[in-house]
C-alpha cells in the first residue's frame, strides 16, 4: 500500500496527540525500569532486611514471608509507574515551552496492522499530496527543540517520541535531522537514560556522539540511573 510519513512543524492542534505520544513513550519503559530497579542491590537488601525484621521482631511466619517478594515487586512497579507519569507530565510542559516543535504525520489508508506498511518518509517542503488526497492522517511522532543553556549557542532536542506501531521506519531519524536544521549554529544536544537505548541508537546514527556520562541519584548513592549526554556539531546555516 502507498503511504507516506511527512515531517513538518507542529501546529497548535497537534498538542493533544503529541502529549499522548510522550506519555505513551515513557509508559513503554515501565517494564525495563521495573527489572532494572527490582534487581538493584539496594532493593534486594531492603527486602532481606524487612523480612528479617518481620520474622524476628514481629513474629511473622515463614509462610507469610513468602508474600514479601510479590509485595516488594508491586511496590517497585507502582513507584516506577508514578515516577514515569510525573516525568512524562514534566516533558509535556517542556514541550509547551519549546522553540520549535516537529511532528511526523502519517498519510495513507486506515489499516488494522500498521507494522505491515513501509511508508516513505519525506519533509513537508518536498512533499506533494496526490490528486485524491490522503485517506487518513495521524501524528505518529514528535520532537521539540529548545535553547540549550551553555557557553555557546546550541539547541536541545527533547520530547522525541514515535508511536510504537511506527518505530524503526525512519520517522525518529527524520525528526532528529529536522531538529538539527532548526539550530542555526553550535550543536544539538540530548540527554538519554540507559532505558532509552533505541533512541540513543537512532541519534548515534544521525551523528550524535557522547559528550558525558553520569548517574542521577534516585535514593542516595546506592540507587542511581545512568544518563548519557549526546551532541552533534552543526554547520552554520547561511
What's the pLDDT score for residue 236?
63
Whether the predicted pLDDT of 79 surpasses 50? yes
Q: What is the number of domains present in the chain?
A: 1
How many Å separate Cα 42 from the centre of its chain?
A: 26
Residue 238: pLDDT band (50, 70, 90) is very low
Tell me what percent of the residues of the chain surpass a pLDDT of 90: 73
Domain hosting residue 168, numbered range: 4-234
Rg, the chain, Cα only: 22
Q: How big, in percent rounded to 5, are the helix, strand and coil portions of the chain?
A: 45, 30, 25
Integer CA distances (angstroms), 131 to 6, 30, 108, 122, 135, in order: 17, 43, 13, 18, 11
CATH of residue 211's domain is: 3.40.630.30
Q: Residue 150: helix, strand or coil by DSSP?
A: coil
Integer CA distances (angstroms), 58 to 2, 53, 62, 64, 66, in order: 67, 7, 12, 12, 15
The answer to whether the CB of 183 falls within 8 A of the CB of 155 is yes
The stretches of the chain forming alpha helices (DSSP H) are 15-27, 30-38, 41-56, 62-65, 68-96, 171-181, 197-205
**pLDDT tens digits for 134-148?**
578 999 999 999 998
**pLDDT tens digits for 94-152?**
999 999 999 999 998 888 888 888 889 999 998 887 656 557 899 999 999 999 877 77
Instruction: Provide CB contacts within 8 A for 89, sequence distance 6+.
Output: 23
Amino acid at each position: 500500500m502507498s503511504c507516506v510519513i511527512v515531517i513538518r512543524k507542529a501546529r497548535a492542534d497537534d498538542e493533544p496527540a503529541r502529549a499522548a505520544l510522550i506519555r505513551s513513550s515513557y509508559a513503554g519503559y515501565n517494564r525495563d525500569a521495573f527489572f532494572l530497579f527490582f534487581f538493584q542491590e539496594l532493593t534486594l537488601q531492603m527486602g532481606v532486611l524487612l523480612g528479617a525484621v518481620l520474622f524476628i521482631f514481629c513474629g511473622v511466619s515463614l509462610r507469610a514471608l513468602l508474600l514479601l517478594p510479590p509485595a516488594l515487586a508491586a511496590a517497585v512497579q507502582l513507584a516506577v509507574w508514578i515516577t514515569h507519569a510525573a516525568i512524562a507530565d514534566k516533558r509535556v510542559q517542556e514541550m509547551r515551552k519549546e522553540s520549535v516543535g516537529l511532528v511526523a504525520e502519517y498519510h495513507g489508508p486506515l489499516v488494522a496492522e500498521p507494522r505491515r506498511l513501509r511508508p516513505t518518509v519525506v519533509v513537508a517542503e518536498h512533499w506533494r499530496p496526490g490528486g485524491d488526497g490522503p485517506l487518513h492522517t495521524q501524528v505518529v511522532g514528535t520532537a521539540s527543540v529548545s535553547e540549550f543553556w551553555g557557553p555557546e549557542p546550541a539547541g536541545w532536542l527533547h520530547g522525541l517520541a514515535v508511536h510504537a506501531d511506527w518505530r524503526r521506519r525512519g520517522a525518529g531519524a527524520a525528526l532528529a535531522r529536522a531538529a538539527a536544521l532548526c539550530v542555526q549554529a553550535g550543536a544539538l544536544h540530548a540527554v538519554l537514560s540507559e532505558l532509552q537505548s533505541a533512541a540513543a541508537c537512532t541519534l548515534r546514527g544521525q551523528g550524535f556522539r557522547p559528550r558525558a556520562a553520569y548517574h542521577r541519584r534516585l535514593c542516595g548513592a546506592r540507587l542511581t540511573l545512568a544518563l548519557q549526554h549526546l551532541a552533534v556539531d552543526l554547520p552554520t546555516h547561511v
